[in-house]
Amino acid sequence: AKAAGRDQLVCYDTQLRTRHLAQARMVDRLRDALEHDQLSVYYQPVVDFANDRWVTVEALARWETDEWSVSPDQFIPVAEDSGLIVALGTWVLRKACRDAAGWHRDHGTRLAVNVSVHQLREADFAAVVRTALADSGLPPGALSLEITESVLVGAGTQRTQAIAHLTELRAAGVVVAIDDFGTGFSSLSYLRTLPIDTIKIDRAFVPCAQTEDPQQVAMVRAIVELARGLGLGTVVEGVETSAQATVLKRLGCELGQGYHYGRPVPADVISATLAPENQP
Ligand code: C2E
Ligand code: CA
Ligand code: CA
Ligand code: CA
């Protein structure tokens, strides 16, 4: 048994080393891709349940070529662990603001960008956002920053820094949303203390419309009620069918996002879809 144990240990160690190597290689290649402009940004529509109109597009980072692609669920964690997420996040923000400025000017479309907790801990984050807005011409009120509950984790000074950035940007008109709401483990009290405007309900809560699981429905209803009571907006993600859209709309969700309305697509596809001849 002892020998088997050691074998397992050796095997585990090798696997771990392989993984570390793979990870290190991925960081190098990602840094390279970032330097050589080989990343791209896709956009997914967020619609108003009341009229099915696109109100916002969410910017989502992509790393792909004609031959292969790496999913964000793989490279974003690597970027987070290596600290590269700060440069990557700034690149996405600047690119997305440039793309979205015209959409906002011509169609009133707003932009949502994901922000890592590592970005919020940088001393110059608010300045980076203000510069991206000024350089692109996108008004502050047209930008939402999507953050996660993890801003509450970490040393007190880092949290204070993050909250100071969000407070400053909100004062300038930028909207702050809590992403993946309901999947973290913190208490709900932060909803009153964090400077936020909107709750983005994680797709784990979206009821499967065929069964309309009463417990799922009760959860969404409670979250919507909570948001309303606190004066916060609601977006629900992972809307895949029109039946789900109907249920979520009835439950009082304001905005929805998901494959039912459109998958993430390159900027030129968004431009073409927003063109007047394609509007209902
Ligand atoms: P997220 O912010 O929660 O983004 C929504 C994810 O759900 C996207 O995955 C989107 O493609 C996917 N999705 C949209 N509608 C549906 C649907 O109806 N059904 C299902 N099953 N999935 C749907 P994606 O693009 O692979 O991104 C994954 C995550 O990577 C994002 O989750 C976000 O946390 C992170 N991410 C992506 N781009 C960035 C970025 O620029 N910065 C940071 N910090 N994180 C990013
Ligand atoms: Ca998001
Ligand atoms: Ca989300
Ligand atoms: Ca997510």
Q: What is the mean pLDDT of residues 253-273?
A: 97
Output 82 or 22, whichever has higher pLDDT: 82
Residues contacting residue 87 through CB under 8 Å, at least 6 positions apart: 34
**Residue range 33-53, pLDDT digits in tens:** 999 999 999 999 999 999 999
This model's pTM is above 0.90: yes
Contact 95, 113 (CB under 8 A): no
* Pocket test residue of 57, 69, 76 for ligand 1, highest count of atoms within 8 A of CB: 76
Nearest ligand to the CA of 258 is 1
Residue with tokens 């350089």: 135
Looking at ligand 1, which residue's alpha carbon is closest to its atom 15?
A: 258
pLDDT value for 1? 45
Looking at ligand 1, which residue's alpha carbon is closest to its atom 20?
A: 238
Region of poorest pLDDT, from 7-11, 40-44, 177-181, 275-279:
7-11
d(C-alpha 188, C-alpha 229), whole Å: 13
Pocket lined around ligand 1, Cβ cut-off 6 Å: 44, 60-61, 71-73, 76, 85, 89, 92, 114, 116, 146, 179-180, 203, 237-240, 257-259, 264
- Percent residues over pLDDT 90 in the chain: 74
- pLDDT-derived band at 190 (thresholds 50, 70, 90) equals confident
pLDDT value for 68? 87
Output 158 or 5, whichever has higher pLDDT: 158
Looking at ligand 1, which residue's alpha carbon is closest to its atom 37?
A: 60
| 119 CA → ligand 3 middle, Å | 17
- Which element (helix H / strand E) includes 81? helix 72-82
Average pLDDT, the chain: 91
**Residue range 107-162, pLDDT digits in tens:** 999 999 999 999 999 999 999 999 999 999 999 999 999 999 888 777 788 899 99
| 138 CA → ligand 1 middle, Å | 23
Helices in the chain by DSSP H: which ranges? 2-35, 72-82, 85-107, 117-120, 125-136, 156-171, 190-193, 214-229, 242-250, 267-274
Sign of the dihedral defined by the CA atoms of residues 153, 119, 81, 43, in that order: positive
- Given a cut of 90, whether residue 250 has pLDDT beyond it is yes
